[in-house]
Amino acid sequence: MPLVESFSRWIHGTRLSWAVRGGYPWLWPACETLHFVGMALLIGIVGLLDLRMLGFVKGLPLKPLNRLLPWGIFGFAINLTTGFMFFAGDPFQYIHNAVFWFKMAFVVLAGINVGAFYLTGISRRVDSVQGGEDVPTSAKLVAATSLFLWIGVMYWGRMLPFLGDAF
Amino acid sequence: MRRVRSGSDPVATLSALENSGFGIWVRESGSLWSYPTIIFLHSLGLSFLVGMNVALNLRLLGVAPGLPLAPLDKLFPIMWFGFWMNAVSGVALLIADATTMMISPVFWVKMTCIAAAVVIMVLIKRQLFSTPRVEVTPLPLRAKFLAASSLLLWAGAITAGRLTAYLGPVAGLKGR
């Protein structure tokens, strides 16, 4: 993929890359810490919505529960930002690492899953579900897919140093 | 003449743990089922333990005020599941790097944060979910104080946990 190669070469030459790579030695550990905080936010809020749709914590009505969602999106934004900084810092350890591309593929699939949830109208039908009620089967399928994919993203991320040789 | 009894020497005990068959397997076997899987489970447990705590605490702090409190009682089993998952995986990781971790100040900061956060989790359960007054609004200031402290302590635990790979004595490869 020549485009990925040339993008990596370009970003490796930026000051951001230098800073993350060790120009500021505290920056990489700080990003790592934030990456885990973002993960807890994302899995906490999105995972709770998924578990509710799957029938755990069933007493919760869906509409008010959705008010927590911005915090899950905030967690994702933190991880997109810090993740991009890791990439900028050392792009070549990632682009030749299959595990990194599995992780990215799972993130994209999770995005498609969210898109399907909102664009097919499933989200509107879920919105009116009260405490104690079941969501439609289509929504359960979306929730199970979401849980699987986000846990998968975490798995591939954790495997970067072991199945590949990035960190 | 001094007699050295290995049982009374903490460093020798830690070293024995670290060099036990299990410790060596976790650290050095290269098996996907040892260190990599254990540290993945540690992240998974973290996400559910801290994540569900965050959701509960945000509600207590006034986000999503329309969300009834009583059903959130069901979050506690999920949190405890995450806690025990991480206690078990954490002990396995600790055995593998016992001599380094036990003298790492930042590791003890992590343990302190977790202990305090778990105490607060139990206090929230006892004070807000064990009475029929669970739907009382507005929530007492005490509940918001507990929620805010919990968020800070979990953030502290994650920070210290991540920094064990960078600060002070570091086992294995830095940053892994």
Contact A46, A146 (CB under 8 A): yes
Which of B161, B142, B139 minimizes the C-alpha distance to B94? B161
Contact (CB<8Å) A59/B70: yes
The tens-digit pLDDT sequence of chain B (176 residues) is 455 555 578 899 999 999 999 999 999 999 999 999 999 999 999 999 999 999 999 999 999 999 999 999 999 999 999 999 999 999 999 999 999 999 999 999 999 999 999 999 999 999 999 866 556 667 889 999 999 999 999 999 999 999 999 998 887 656 65
Does this model's pTM top 0.90? My answer is yes
- B47 → closest Cβ in A39, A58, A161: A39
Tokens of A122: 């499933």
| Residue recorded with tokens 């994702």 | A76
A28 touches chain B (CB under 8 A): yes
Task: Give me A59's structure tokens.
Answer: 């007493």
Q: How far is CA A166 from the centre of its chain?
A: 18
Can you tell me which residue has the tokens 């899953």? A113
> CB–CB of A155/B40 below 8 Å?
yes
User: Residue B75: which of B136, B13, B124 has the closest Cα?
Assistant: B124
Residue A10 has pLDDT above 60, yes or no: yes
> In the prediction, which pLDDT does A120 show?
96
